[in-house]
Amino acid sequence: MPLLTALPLALEMVAGSKLVSAVVLAGGHHPRRSSAAFLGGVAVGVLGPLTLWYAAFRVVRHTAVHGIGVGGSRRLIDWIVLGLLAVLMVVTFRRRRRDRPPGWLRRLQDPRPTYAFGLGLVLAVAVPSDELVMASVAGSMAGHGRPWWHLLPFVALTVLLLALPLLTLLVFGDRAERLLPAFRAWTDRHSWLVSEAVILIFAAFVVADLASTSFSRP
């Protein structure tokens, strides 16, 4: 269950500059080459921090088990995840009018693959709200004793969502030149609402898990 409930948080991961960058790359010169490099950078930038957060929460879980038992350690991590989600909701709300394309996006019309890869890597690693998402997902997996590879579907879905502009170009060809700007405009205005809804849904599952473990012995 934690794997399925965590997957929608990939929508929060792609909101903002990453999705705008993917749209611009798909509409620029050499879209296949530059988009592929960008997606590769994102994949590396998401998988690395996810793994580190997962390892950290595994240590917390292992340490807590000896003091408060398996059930207690699971509840502890659930509370930590809830705290992270609360902070994430505030950050998402405060940035709702700031998810606008920065000046450096002009360089994405004809970027080198190394630049596109580096941009995807930086956008995945250096955004505080993304770190909160990855910590929440990794904490959920580690807290429920899920193996590391359960993180991979989350990474794959994140990359797939960012690949949608390129896939739109490949499927619709010239018509994508009209679809992509409209898609970009919609995400600029409404992505924060989608993100907040997804966070609330995931938080509800965490609360439900807390309620169920509260009636079980640690």
- Going by C-alpha positions, the residue among 28, 37, 179 that lies closest to residue 108 is 28
Check: CB of residue 12 under 8 Å from CB of residue 203.
Answer: no
- pLDDT per residue rounded down to tens, the chain (218 residues): 455 677 778 888 887 778 878 887 887 777 888 889 999 999 999 999 999 999 999 988 887 765 666 566 677 777 888 888 888 788 777 776 654 545 555 555 556 888 889 888 988 888 788 888 899 899 889 888 889 999 999 999 999 999 988 888 888 766 666 666 666 666 666 666 666 776 777 777 778 777 776 655 54
d(CA 55, CA 142): 8
- Going by C-alpha positions, the residue among 38, 29, 33 that lies closest to residue 118 is 38
d(CA 134, CA 12): 10
d(CA 121, CA 158): 13
Q: How far is CA 165 from CA 21, 110, 125, 178, in A?
A: 10, 16, 21, 12
HSE of 48, CA atoms in CB hemisphere, 13 A: 12
Rg (CA), the chain: 18
- pLDDT reported for residue 1: 46
